[in-house]
């Protein structure tokens, strides 16, 4: 009898959840073993000796029913207020989808094209081209030159205005469109890696392994990272800083919304024409910007190929290339793009001299800019260096990459006088090991850039041979015709007079300077060449490493190695002072092409409850009278003033 009552009570308490039990009361009976057999899910819990477990809501209601009458009434009223707030609370605009006032005007939707066909290049051996040229980079004639639409200084204003109109229509590139265009960039690199390596070989004799890693693989890794995190990095909003009840804006709701700058200009250099052009483009598209790319014609084959590939693979409303293939030194196209007021942000990579010109032009239009410049990057090899041979190997390798034409290459080495001789000998050994015949194709890269620069380098090489302020340990030759520079190690005797220490070398020249202590090396950096883009430390002592880190300023630091910090997508890459400002790579690059727009929504619906005391206080309205005295008194009482 007791067991039947327990079961009846259980069924009564769970009458609102009977849909969970696939049995009826007629199917329930007691057996001789005093166990209730049931077909439902909870049959294993129900026995005559153990009452069934109550449901969650029945337990709550039983607890409320056990309260005194007054408390039960208060809880009922509070519950009703919560339900009302949930129903009638004003909805915030932060959770709504983005809407554009101006609809898109394009009728035809952009569609990806089939695989790009590389234009044929006529060489001196072919019948179409019989004239003789120096070296194996002979011909300017390409099949694609006849079909390429060159966007020169006259066409640049119309192209920029057309893209600006598209930006006004779409406000920002939708997430789905960004993912589509990033996927197209990845496809572009994957399908044309051989063409990219060929163009870099034609321009600078770049070994194909270096070309593939720097200008194909690293950009592809950046694209994959952006594709993986595109939605995560672009939320509809993010929470603002925790507010305080004493804020004059309370009660309110506040948040931050990502706002792309709009139309971005990317000015790429000639030394890494694909890496340093596509890196900012990836960040800009991920942030929601449209991009205009101006490559350097000092790497003419790469600039033409970049133009052809982006025109073929990318939506022209999102990304275009201007200036590629235009005759001349490129100054006219540079001036043409910088004169355009339509750009919302400018990303420049190049020398400090040109960077100042870009910053000045941007300041005239109040356009924000990011400058990735260069400088003389120091290496500190301390007395407690664990492996001098490895330090020399790393310095020679990092200096000679791309024929020394890299903004993060180690420029000069400050080595302790006790190990200076050993370090110099190891550097000479590794130069001969890495480059036994540097003239052989693909043994190392060739000199690039303007012809005037190569002639100036040949002149400086002759000055170094006759200089008393420095001594050439190995190398020192420059061939203007073949655009070849021999890997060179120089021992600096007088840093103030040495030719190799006048400016950033940007050539395969490694300078070695002897110092008496780590403090002297730090003082040399801060006095002679402060704020480098990169700084390298070879030391096994954590105290020495900390001493250098705390007393120098640089864009980035790498300990017991070189260059690797610039290729790590999880680390922001950028300069400081003379080496530039702003950064890119990963999320830091996305932040360079957008800002977080603060939004505050004032709560007004509570005015019926507080009679305007908080939601629309009279204190902020004139006439003020004695309000200042009242405010100060209230603040003193609450210990806020």
CA distance 451 to 456: 9
Distance CA 224, CA 219 (A): 9
C-alpha–C-alpha distance, residues 432 and 486, integer Å: 11
Please, is 89 exposed, middle or buried when counting C-beta atoms within 10 Å of its C-beta (0-12, 13-18, 19+)?
exposed
Strand partners, 414: 380, 513
Residue with tokens 């009552």: 5
The pairs formed by 158-166 with CB atoms below 8 angstroms and a separation of 24 or more are 159/292, 159/320, 159/322, 160/263, 160/292, 160/337, 160/340, 160/342, 160/343, 161/342, 163/263, 163/290, 163/292, 163/317, 163/320, 163/342, 164/262, 164/263, 164/342, 166/290, 166/317
Residue with tokens 């910088």: 338
Beta pairing class for 580-581 and 252-260: unpaired
Whether 398 and 552 have beta carbons less than 8 Å apart is answered as no
Q: Point out the residues that are catalytic.
A: 372, 407
H or E segment to which residue 332 belongs? helix 331-338
Contacts of 488 (CB under 8 A, 6+ apart): 472, 474, 475, 476, 507, 508, 509, 510
Residue closest to 248 by CA, chosen among 597, 598, 610, 602: 602
Which residue has 């001098």 as its token pair?
Answer: 388
The string of DSSP codes covering 393-462 is HHHHHHHHGGGG--TTSEEEEEEETTTHHHHHHHHHHHHHHH-TTTTSTTTS----S-HHHHHHHHHHHH
How far apart, in whole angstroms, are the C-alpha atoms of residue 458 and residue 270? 20
């Amino acid at each position: 009898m007791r067991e039947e009552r327990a079961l009846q009570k259980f069924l009564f308490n769970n009458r609102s959840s009977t849909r969970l039990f696939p049995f009826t009361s007629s199917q329930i009976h007691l057996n001789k073993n005093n166990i209730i057999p049931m077909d439902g899910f909870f049959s294993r819990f129900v026995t005559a000796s153990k009452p069934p477990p109550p449901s969650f809501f029945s337990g709550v209601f039983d607890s409320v029913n056990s309260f005194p009458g007054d408390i039960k009434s208060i809880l009922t009223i509070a519950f009703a207020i919560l339900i009302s707030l949930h129903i009638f609370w004003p909805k915030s605009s932060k959770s709504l989808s983005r809407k554009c006032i101006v609809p898109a005007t394009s009728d035809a939707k952009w569609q990806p094209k089939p695989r790009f066909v590389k234009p044929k290049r006529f060489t001196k051996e072919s019948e179409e081209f019989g004239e003789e040229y120096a070296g194996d980079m002979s011909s300017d004639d390409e099949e694609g030159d006849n079909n390429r639409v060159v966007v020169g200084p006259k066409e640049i204003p119309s192209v920029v205005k057309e893209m600006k109109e598209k930006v006004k229509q779409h406000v920002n590139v939708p997430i789905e469109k960004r993912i589509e265009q990033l996927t197209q960039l990845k496809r572009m690199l994957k399908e044309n890696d051989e063409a990219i390596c060929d163009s870099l070989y034609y321009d600078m004799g770049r070994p194909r392994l270096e070309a593939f890693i720097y200008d194909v693989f690293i950009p592809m890794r950046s694209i994959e990272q952006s594709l993986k995190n595109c939605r995560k990095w672009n939320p509809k909003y993010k929470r603002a800083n925790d507010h305080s009840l004493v804020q004059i804006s309370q009660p309110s709701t506040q948040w931050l919304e990502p706002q792309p700058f709009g139309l971005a200009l990317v000015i790429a250099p000639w030394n890494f024409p694909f890496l340093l052009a596509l890196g900012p483009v990836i960040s800009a598209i991920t942030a929601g910007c449209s991009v205009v790319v101006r490559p350097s014609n000092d790497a003419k084959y790469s600039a033409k190929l970049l133009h052809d590939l982006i025109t073929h693979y990318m939506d022209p409303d999102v990304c275009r290339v201007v200036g590629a293939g235009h005759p001349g030194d490129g100054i006219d196209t540079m001036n043409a793009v910088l004169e355009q007021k339509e750009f919302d942000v400018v990303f420049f990579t190049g020398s400090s001299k040109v960077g100042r010109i870009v910053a000045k032009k941007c300041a005239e239009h109040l356009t924000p800019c990011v400058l990735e410049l260069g400088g003389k990057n120091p290496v500190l090899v301390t007395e407690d260096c664990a492996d001098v041979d490895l330090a020399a190997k790393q310095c020679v390798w990092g200096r000679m990459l791309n024929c020394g034409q890299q903004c993060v290459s180690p420029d000069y080495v400050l080595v302790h006088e006790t190990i200076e001789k050993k370090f110099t000998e190891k550097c000479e050994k590794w130069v001969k090991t890495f480059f036994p015949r540097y003239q052989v194709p693909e043994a190392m890269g060739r000199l690039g850039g303007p012809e005037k620069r190569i002639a100036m380098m040949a002149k400086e090489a002759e000055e170094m041979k006759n200089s008393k302020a420095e001594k050439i340990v190995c190398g020192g030759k420059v061939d203007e015709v073949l655009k070849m520079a021999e890997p060179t190690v120089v021992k600096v005797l007088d840093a103030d007079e040495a030719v190799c220490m006048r400016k950033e070398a940007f050539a395969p020249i490694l300078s070695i300077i002897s110092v008496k202590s780590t403090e002297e090396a730090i003082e040399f950096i801060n006095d002679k060449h402060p704020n480098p883009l990169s700084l390298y430390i070879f030391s096994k002592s954590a105290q020495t490493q900390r001493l250098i880190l705390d007393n120098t300023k640089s864009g980035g630091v790498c300990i017991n190695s070189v260059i690797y910090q610039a290729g790590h997508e999880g680390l922001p890459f950028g300069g400081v002072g003379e080496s530039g400002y702003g950064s890119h790579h990963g999320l830091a690059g996305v932040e360079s092409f957008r800002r977080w727009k603060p939004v505050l929504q004032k709560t007004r619906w509570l005015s019926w409850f507080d009679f305007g005391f908080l939601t629309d206080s009279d204190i902020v309205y004139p006439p003020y009278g004695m309000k200042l005295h009242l405010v100060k008194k209230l603040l003193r009482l609450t210990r806020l003033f």
